[in-house]
Amino acid sequence: MREFYVWIEQDEDGMYVGEVPQLRACYAQGHTLDEMLSNIREVIALCLEEQVDATGPLPTFVGVQKVAV
């Protein structure tokens, strides 16, 4: 079993949007946090199936850093 970090935001309509930075184009949404998490699990599984054909290891998630500009 693998673990992934999910970047979670709430959009202007109140929908929860989750994205997995380690997997390209791997994101999901839901009306509730639980719904989004359920959806993102399914999407991660689909993204991993596509990764089987790709070569090399998955990128390593390093972290999030706040930057002031």
- Tens digits of residue pLDDT in 20-63: 998 988 999 999 999 999 999 999 999 988 876 666 678 888 88
Domain encompassing residue 23 = 1-69
| pLDDT attached to residue 34 | 97
| pLDDT attached to residue 63 | 85
Q: Which residue in 20, 29, 28, 7 sits closest to 58, CA to CA? A: 20
* Dihedral pair phi/psi, residue 41, rounded to 5°: -60, -45
Tell me how far apart the alpha carbons of residues 40 and 62 are, in angstroms, rounded to a whole number.
Answer: 20
Q: What is the CATH classification number for the domain harbouring 56? A: 3.30.160.250
Torsion angle defined by CA atoms of residues 46, 63, 56 and 8, in that order, rounded to the nearest 10 degrees: 10
Domain count, the chain: 1
Tell me how far apart the alpha carbons of residues 47 and 19 are, in angstroms, rounded to a whole number.
Answer: 12
Residue with tokens 């999901």: 28
Question: pTM of the entire structure?
Answer: 0.80
